[in-house]
Amino acid sequence: MTRQPVVTRRQLLRVTGLAVGGGFVAQRLSTSRYAAPAFAQTASTRPLRVALPGEPSFMNPILVASDRNFAKVSWNVFDSLLGYDYGARRSTPQLATSWRQVDPTTWEFKLREGVQFHRGYGELTAADVEFMVNYVVDNNKPLKFLYFFVKGAKATGKYTVQYSLSQPFAPFLLTTVRDRGAMIVSKKAYQEMGEEAFSRTPVGTGPFELSSWQEGTEIVLKRFAQYWQNPLPHLDEVSYRFITDTVTRESLLKTGEIDFMDNPDYKDVERWRRDPGFAVTSVPSWGTDYMPFSVTTPPFDKKALRQAVAFAVDRASLAKSFFFGEAEADPGPLPRGYLGYPSPAIYPLGANTAKAKELLSEAGVPNGFQTTALTTAQFKPLAEVISGQLADVGIQMSVEVVDPGTFNARTSSKKFEVAVVNLAFMTPDTDSTAYWFYHTDTVGNYGYDNPTIDKALEDARATYDQQKRAAMYRSILTTVLPDAPFVYLLHPNIIHIYRKGLQGVPGYPQEYAIDLRNATWT
Of 388, 412, 440, 443, the residue at the interface with other proteins (CB under 8 A) is 388
Least separation in angstroms between CB 229 and other proteins: 40
Strand order in the sheet with 418-419: 396-401, 370-375, 418-419
Least separation in angstroms between CB 331 and other proteins: 19
Q: Is 383 in the site for other proteins (CB under 8 A)?
A: yes
CA–CA dist 278, 250 (Å, integer) = 12
Residue type, 157: G
Binding residues with other proteins: total (CB under 8 A): 24
Q: Is 321 in the site for other proteins (CB under 8 A)?
A: yes
Least separation in angstroms between CB 142 and other proteins: 28
Stretch that binds other proteins, among 140-148, 288-296, 400-408, 492-500 (CB under 8 A): 400-408
Of 227, 322, 435, 521, the residue at the interface with other proteins (CB under 8 A) is 322
- Long-range contacts of residues 154-157, Cβ cutoff 8 Å, at least 24 apart: 154/130, 155/125, 155/126, 155/127, 155/129, 155/130, 156/108, 156/126, 157/126
Least separation in angstroms between CB 387 and other proteins: 5
Q: Which is nearer to other proteins, 267 or 455 (CB)?
A: 267
Q: Which is nearer to other proteins, 236 or 257 (CB)?
A: 257
Q: Is 414 in the site for other proteins (CB under 8 A)?
A: no
DSSP output for 203-238: ---SSEEEEEEETTTEEEEEE-TT-SSTT----SEE
How many other C-beta atoms are found inside a 10 Å radius of the C-beta of residue 257?
Answer: 17
Q: Is 418 in the site for other proteins (CB under 8 A)?
A: no
Among candidate residues 28, 72, 78, the one with its CA nearest the CA of residue 50: 72
DSSP output for 244-260: --HHHHHHHHHHTS-SE
Q: Is the dihedral of CA 322, 326, 329, 332 positive or negative?
A: negative
- Long-range contacts of residues 299-303, Cβ cutoff 8 Å, at least 24 apart: 299/369, 299/371, 299/417, 300/371, 300/417, 300/418, 302/363, 303/483, 303/484
Q: Which is nearer to other proteins, 387 or 432 (CB)?
A: 387
Cα dist from 249 to 167, 172, 221, whole Å:
47, 38, 20
Least separation in angstroms between CB 277 and other proteins: 17
Helices 451-461 and 431-438 meet at what angle, rounded to 10? 150
Q: Is 217 in the site for other proteins (CB under 8 A)?
A: no
CA–CA dist 159, 123 (Å, integer) = 10
Q: Is 380 in the site for other proteins (CB under 8 A)?
A: yes
Least separation in angstroms between CB 491 and other proteins: 19
Q: Which is nearer to other proteins, 142 or 381 (CB)?
A: 381
Q: Is 413 in the site for other proteins (CB under 8 A)?
A: no
Q: Which is nearer to other proteins, 363 or 402 (CB)?
A: 402
CA–CA dist 257, 340 (Å, integer) = 44
What x/- string results for residues 69 through 98 when contact with other proteins is judged by CB under 8 A? ------------------------------
Least separation in angstroms between CB 418 and other proteins: 14
Three-class SS of 66-120: CCHHHHHHHHHHCCECEEEECCCCEEEECCEEEEEEEECCEEEEEECCCCECHHH
Of 246, 422, 475, 518, the residue at the interface with other proteins (CB under 8 A) is 246
Q: Which is nearer to other proteins, 31 or 398 (CB)?
A: 398
Q: Which residues contact 21 (CB under 8 A, 6 or more apart)?
A: none
Least separation in angstroms between CB 281 and other proteins: 22
Q: Is 470 in the site for other proteins (CB under 8 A)?
A: no
Of 232, 304, 399, 471, the residue at the interface with other proteins (CB under 8 A) is 399
Least separation in angstroms between CB 361 and other proteins: 24
Least separation in angstroms between CB 274 and other proteins: 14
CA–CA dist 169, 175 (Å, integer) = 10
Q: Which is nearer to other proteins, 77 or 374 (CB)?
A: 374
Q: Is 353 in the site for other proteins (CB under 8 A)?
A: no
Q: Is 257 in the site for other proteins (CB under 8 A)?
A: no
SS3 10: helix
Q: Which is nearer to other proteins, 401 or 424 (CB)?
A: 401
Residue 467's Cβ-count burial label (10 Å; 0-12, 13-18, 19+) is exposed
Q: Which is nearer to other proteins, 275 or 384 (CB)?
A: 384
Least separation in angstroms between CB 288 and other proteins: 21
Cα atoms in the Cβ-side hemisphere of radius 13 Å centred on 480: 34
CA–CA dist 450, 441 (Å, integer) = 11
Q: Is the dihedral of CA 11, 13, 14, 20 positive or negative?
A: positive
Of 362, 384, 454, 483, the residue at the interface with other proteins (CB under 8 A) is 384
Of 155, 401, 462, 471, the residue at the interface with other proteins (CB under 8 A) is 401
Of 35, 377, 409, 443, the residue at the interface with other proteins (CB under 8 A) is 377
CA–CA dist 400, 372 (Å, integer) = 7
Stretch that binds other proteins, among 86-94, 316-324, 446-454, 498-506 (CB under 8 A): 316-324
> What residues make contact with other proteins under the rule CB under 8 A?
246-247, 251, 265, 267-268, 317, 320-322, 377, 380-381, 383-385, 387-388, 391, 398-402
